[in-house]
């Protein structure tokens, strides 16, 4: 039995222990969004640091910046002459959402039907535990790793990595590496391991529309009084056409078309409308939006517009009034080639132009990060494909992703263009960012095993510059 197989056997035998580690992390409500208790994110960082120490990593510390949620760092740097691998995940999570829609409490991880349900079980505390578990399996069985390892577990990825530039400036010397492995993406399907080579970006903001200084009786004042909810609805509706495609002038002019390799992959994956309907849970009579191209092309390589939340009074406090104001949070997922700041500028100008009845419009809470893509060529990607196939027993797919990870582009640039391997544990049924988020436990175990194989494969790859 070679070294990797010894570590793999240990990982399989201790799978229940690794799931227990994940449950412990997932019980901490580490929501990084404004309005939630920051102490929970700090507690999560402390728990992650304890897990990294338990795994055998050294120099574990919590890295802090003024006003930022904490990062956690650790390393093991005793593989002389071997490449250095930077591992990434994040420990902050999305808000729980509507608790009445959860089948089990969001912060009490619960096993059901071969999956682990709970906020952060997949996105992305599973990523942190995959890294720690693979390292632990090697160190417990072999007493060493085949590569040098640095690990960074971020605490504010879900709110756009707001302090990333400052973090890179201050801690750049700690992070030098020959390749990055980011475990915060998903597989094409359950049991189908995947390397993500393209991410959409994000441009988002809050929009508040106001027509009066207080709510008014809808019978006594309704008619001549403009309704801000209707005004906001008209503005939102003007952003897309009947097919759901964005029609803001100039916003699509820089969209990068999929490369020949990307189009070949789209065809090979043979993703059908029926599969999309099954995985998304879209209602039977609801039409799929967008004009032309493969469904996956629309998700991975084209922009999309969504309204993430909207409020005027509330269902609980509903009364016969005309509200004084209406609010929403909206965003554009950006395709390659689009400039985030230009998109925000054009979107705001469009909304202002479409605001009816002289309504007051205010913008706030703006975030912007670009799309990212890489060419999956070179020894790092060969090693990843080899390791994933051994770990899952299925050939690896190279895919795009409709989501955003603001960390990837700036970090890759800061490391001088080091290859970035985006390998995750989510799947089309994970439901990240929504209620009943879950992790497929079989794929979780396979991801740990694949990580062990990947360290071994990268130790033989010609990565060092």
Q: What is the CA angle 109-389-75, rounded to 5?
A: 60
Identify which of 238, 193, 447, 232 has the alpha carbon closest to the alpha carbon of residue 326: 232
- 247 & 274 share domain: no
Longest dimension (CA), the chain: 83
Cα torsion angle, 39, 439, 272, 434, sign: negative
CB 235 within 8 A of CB 207: yes
- Is 35 among the domain residues? yes
- 101 & 176 share domain: yes
pLDDT at 464: 60
Domain boundary (339, 368, 397) is at 368
Tokens 């209602």 correspond to what residue?
283
Residues (pLDDT < 70) of the chain are 1, 464-465
Q: Helix H segments across 290-394? A: 295-300, 340-354, 379-392
pLDDT single digits (tens) 288-311: 999 877 899 999 999 999 999 999
CB 185 within 8 A of CB 388: no
Neighbours of 324 (CB within 10 A): 16
- Is 87 among the domain residues? yes
- 223 & 337 share domain: yes
Domain boundary (272, 299, 326) is at 299
- Domain range for 232 is 201-253+303-368
Cα torsion angle, 81, 82, 86, 89, sign: negative
Number of domains in the chain: 3
Beta bridge partners of residue 329, listed in sequence order: 206, 309
pLDDT at 416: 85
Residues near 424 by Cβ (< 8 Å), separated by ≥ 6? 124, 127, 183, 184, 185, 186, 187, 194, 196, 447
pLDDT at 2: 83
- 261 & 291 share domain: yes
- 165 & 275 share domain: no
- CATH number for the domain spanning 239: value is 3.30.70.360
Identify which of 406, 425, 435, 388 has the alpha carbon closest to the alpha carbon of residue 123: 425
Measured distance CA(4)–CA(145) in Å, rounded: 10
Neighbours of 159 (CB within 10 A): 17
- 221 & 283 share domain: no
- 293 & 441 share domain: no
Measured distance CA(86)–CA(396) in Å, rounded: 21
Residue 283, phi then psi, degrees to nearest 5: -65, 150
pLDDT single digits (tens) 382-433: 999 999 999 999 999 999 999 888 888 888 888 888 999 999 999 999 999 9
- 32 & 174 share domain: yes
CB 25 within 8 A of CB 51: yes
- 285 & 273 share domain: yes
Question: 330 exposed, middle or buried (CB, 10 Å; 0-12, 13-18, 19+)?
Answer: buried
pLDDT at 1: 53
- 89 & 167 share domain: yes
pLDDT at 465: 52
CB 61 within 8 A of CB 174: no
């Amino acid at each position: 039995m070679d070294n990797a197989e010894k570590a793999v056997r240990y990982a399989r035998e201790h799978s229940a222990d690794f799931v227990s580690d994940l449950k412990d992390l997932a019980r901490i409500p580490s929501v990084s969004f404004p309005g939630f208790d920051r102490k929970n994110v700090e507690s999560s960082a402390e728990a992650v640091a304890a897990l990294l120490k338990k795994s055998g990593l050294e120099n574990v510390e919590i890295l802090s910046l003024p006003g930022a949620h904490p990062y956690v760092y650790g390393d093991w740097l005793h593989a002389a002459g071997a490449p250095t691998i930077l591992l990434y995940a994040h420990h902050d999570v999305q808000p729980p959402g509507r608790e009445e829609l959860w089948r089990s409490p969001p912060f009490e991880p619960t096993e059901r039907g071969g999956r682990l349900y709970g906020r952060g079980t997949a996105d992305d505390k599973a990523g942190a535990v995959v890294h720690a578990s693979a390292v632990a399996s090697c160190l417990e069985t072999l007493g060493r790793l085949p590569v040098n390892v640095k690990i960074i577990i971020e605490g504010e990825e879900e709110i756009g990595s707001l302090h990333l530039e400052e973090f890179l400036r201050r801690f750049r010397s700690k992070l030098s590496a020959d390749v990055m492995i980011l475990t915060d993406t998903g597989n094409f399907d359950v049991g189908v391991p995947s390397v993500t080579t393209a991410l959409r970006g994000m441009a988002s903001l809050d929009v508040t529309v106001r027509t009066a200084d207080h709510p008014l009786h809808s019978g006594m004042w309704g008619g001549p009084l403009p309704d801000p909810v209707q005004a906001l609805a008209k503005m939102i509706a003007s952003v897309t056409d009947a097919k759901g495609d964005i029609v803001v002038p100039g916003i699509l002019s820089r969209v990068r078309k999929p490369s020949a390799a990307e189009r070949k992959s789209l065809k090979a994956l043979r993703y059908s409308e029926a599969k999309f309907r099954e995985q998304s849970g879209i209602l039977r009579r609801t039409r799929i939006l967008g004009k032309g191209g493969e469904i996956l092309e629309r998700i991975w390589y084209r922009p999309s517009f969504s309204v993430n939340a909207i409020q005027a009074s509330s269902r609980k406090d509903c009364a016969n009034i005309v509200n004084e104001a209406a609010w929403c949070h909206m965003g554009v997922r950006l395709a390659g080639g689009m400039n985030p700041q230009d998109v925000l500028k054009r979107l705001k100008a469009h909304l202002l132009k479409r605001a009816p009845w002289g309504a007051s419009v205010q913008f706030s809470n703006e975030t912007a990060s670009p799309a990212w893509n890489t060419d999956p060529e070179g020894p790092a990607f060969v090693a990843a494909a080899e390791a994933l196939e051994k770990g899952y027993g299925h050939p690896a797919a190279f895919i795009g992703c409709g989501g955003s990870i603001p960390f990837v582009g700036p970090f890759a640039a800061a490391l001088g263009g080091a290859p970035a391997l985006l390998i995750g544990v989510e799947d089309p049924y994970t439901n990240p960012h929504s209620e009943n988020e879950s992790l497929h436990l079989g794929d979780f175990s396979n991801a740990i095993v694949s990580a062990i194989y990947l360290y071994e494969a990268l130790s033989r790859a010609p990565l060092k510059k």
